């Protein structure tokens, strides 16, 4: 049993093939998916589409790349869903200085607002952080403690150590299977097993041997096998630990 801690199922590329894709995920042993919506429209679509799917849970926030456009416009409506218990986590929120340097201030502002919302609602946060770890940690130092996961981790070993010191979870995506991902492989080997989550970030970042194709939750198996081998443990051991970690962070499914 595996938990895909981060997938975008409401992505437009999936509209036609969603049922087939979810069946494939279940056959592959994916027992739970945390579905990430990055706008109010996506969230509402996902909530109605997956109403009957007790193994799909929901998280939502406006991504750092989109806060300038949608942040203010949709914050209150997303917060309302969180307050009425429709979400299992707040995210993905965070900082992305790789794509959008010019909105640094705004990104930090919304990150703080989402962190406060998560605390209010007793929910964990799902963080996207790219080329911005220094600022991310200084934001964490400014706010009341929150629980969370750094999704699709691509930082340094030092960033990973800092996260673990703060008792955060670290989630590894299919990027780890790419040949040039030596640093991430080092991190995936090092991170304490009780702080590791795995994810597809589907439809992006398909692991080997599917690199370059649209990703989907069933491919999580390949990432899990790769990390198990890296660490010298069995696939079953890795699956059991990462599933237990997901339950610890997100709690049991809200959908059932
Ligand atoms: Zn994502």
List of domains in the chain: 2-250 (3.20.20.140)
Please return the burial class of 252, using the count of CB atoms within 10 Å of its CB with bins 0-12, 13-18 and 19+: exposed
The CA distance from 35 to 216, in Å, is 12
- Find the helix packing angle between 133-142 and 157-165, rounded to 10°: 10
Model confidence band, residue 13 (pLDDT cutoffs 50, 70, 90)? confident
Most confident region among 8-12, 112-116, 206-210 by mean pLDDT = 112-116
pLDDT in tens, 50-65: 988 889 999 999 999 9
CA 175–ligand 1 middle distance (angstroms): 13
The CA distance from 91 to 244, in Å, is 20
CA 17–ligand 1 middle distance (angstroms): 19
CA 6–ligand 1 middle distance (angstroms): 6
């Amino acid at each position: 049993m595996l938990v895909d801690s981060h997938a975008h199922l409401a992505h437009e590329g999936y509209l036609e093939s969603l049922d087939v894709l979810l069946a494939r995920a279940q056959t592959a042993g994916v027992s739970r998916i945390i579905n990430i919506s990055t706008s109010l429209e996506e969230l509402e679509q996902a909530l109605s589409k997956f109403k009957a799917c007790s193994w799909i849970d929901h998280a939502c926030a406006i991504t750092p790349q989109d806060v300038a456009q949608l942040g203010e416009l949709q914050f209150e409506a997303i917060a309302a869903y969180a307050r009425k218990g429709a979400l299992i986590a707040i995210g993905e929120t965070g900082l992305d200085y790789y794509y959008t340097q010019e909105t640094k201030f705004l990104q930090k502002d919304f990150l703080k607002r989402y962190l406060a919302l998560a605390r209010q609602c007793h929910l964990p946060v799902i963080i996207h952080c790219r080329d911005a770890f220094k600022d991310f940690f200084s934001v964490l130092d400014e706010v009341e403690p929150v629980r969370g996961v750094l999704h699709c981790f691509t930082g340094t070993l030092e960033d990973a150590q800092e996260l673990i010191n703060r008792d955060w979870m670290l989630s590894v995506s299919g990027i780890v299977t790419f040949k040039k991902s030596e640093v991430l492989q080092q991190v995936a080997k090092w991170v304490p097993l009780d702080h590791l989550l795995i994810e597809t970030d589907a439809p992006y970042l398909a692991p080997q041997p599917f690199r370059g194709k649209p990703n989907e939750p069933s491919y999580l198996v390949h990432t899990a096998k790769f990390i198990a081998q890296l660490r010298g443990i069995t696939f079953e051991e890795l699956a059991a630990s990462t599933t237990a970690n997901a339950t610890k962070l997100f709690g049991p499914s809200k959908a059932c």
